[in-house]
A = this chain, B = another copy of it.
């Protein structure tokens, strides 16, 4: 006789869990092997389902990848947008907060591998590139720019070139991610990410804050 509880067939109980399990498996493998080299069969196996099942939930490999981005990265941008919209303090502190959140939710996380993957393979998958551009880069860029504009409007930042400064702020994140997922693992002398970010922020704020501010140089 079987246990009277939990008699529902497993697949039924799991109906809602499937997409999560598949996405979790997908993110792992995409991060490990990149987009082109990840085999859908492996994703399915890691999620404990068959290849066909994967196609019930995701139209194809690209849609699966988009879903991974949508669940792992886009929400972080949304949160950052909210931070910018709702923050009440000094813009320098807002900037610090946004960078710190990025580090916690992406940089230090497995998800950073997805960011690196896009920089690595976007060229070969134009549709993915476009999707990522629209959903992540443009929104992220806009968010950072709006943060700068807020600072300028409140006279907390100098009248810098917003577009260019936006790139400068993105750069260290991009670098950390590239480092972590390519050269980094081979190197002995680690690039200490938090110290690096701090240095970068100091440098950036040096260019952003009105002249009267004095910033102590950070230890790299």
Contacts and interface: CB of A to CB of B under 8 A. Distances in A.
Given A166-B189, A171-B179, A178-B178, 11 more contacts: A34-B123, A36-B36, A116-B120, A119-B182, A119-B183, A163-B188, A167-B189, A167-B191, A174-B175, A174-B178, A174-B179
9 contacts: A36-B36, A119-B181, A120-B121, A122-B182, A123-B181, A167-B189, A168-B220, A171-B191, A206-B217
> Of A123, A137, A175, which is in contact with the most chain B CB atoms at under 10 Å from its CB?
A123
Interface residues of A, number: 47
A183 B186 CA distance: 24
A33 interface: yes
A34 B168 CA distance: 26
Given A119-B178, A171-B191, A175-B175, A124 B196 contact: no
Contacts of A12: none
Given A32-B123, A123-B33, A206-B217, A118 B182 contact: yes
A199 interface: yes
A7 interface: no
Q: Which residue of A133, A167, A168, A186 has the most chain B CB atoms within 10 A of its CB atom?
A: A167
A11 to B, nearest CB: 15
